[in-house]
Amino acid sequence: MARRGSLQHEIAVIDEIQKLMNDGWRVVNLKGLSPDAIAAKNGKLIAIEVLGLDYRKGRGWHRNWTYKSKKEMYSMFDEVIIKTFRRKK
């Protein structure tokens, strides 16, 4: 079973999906899988990853992951979009 993100994470994913759809992208929300969503337009396929920042330390939730390693992990995509949001207490 896929791990679901927090409500804040889900809202951030939906916001990013809506922005892409408004720009004409076809987007699939993967709901708990990784990456968070996949978008396609004009033969281009992109991965969308949304990461929450720890409000105390300003670091990603998965402290062992870096932006570089995320981009390498999704290297099969034409582009990787990584968005962050600030976690609330």
In 1-89, beta strands by DSSP E: 26-29, 37-41, 44-53, 79-86
C-beta separation of 84 from 51 below 8 A? yes
pLDDT, tens digit (0-9, with 9 covering 90-100), for 32-67: 888 999 999 999 999 999 887 764 454 544 555 667
Per-state percent for the chain, helix, strand, coil, to nearest 5: 25, 30, 45
pLDDT, tens digit (0-9, with 9 covering 90-100), for 14-36: 999 999 999 999 999 998 888 99
CATH number of the domain within which 73 lies: 3.40.1350.10
Which stretch of DSSP H or E encloses residue 67? helix 67-73
Instruction: Tell me the whole-structure pTM to 2 decimals.
Output: 0.77
Range(s) of the domain holding residue 31? 7-86
User: For the chain, what is the domain count?
Assistant: 1
Count CA atoms closer than 13 A to 39's CA, side-chain side: 23
Q: Please report whether residue 32 resides in a domain.
A: yes
Q: Please report whether residue 18 resides in a domain.
A: yes
Q: Please report whether residue 1 resides in a domain.
A: no
Q: Please report whether residue 58 resides in a domain.
A: yes
Q: Please report whether residue 2 resides in a domain.
A: no
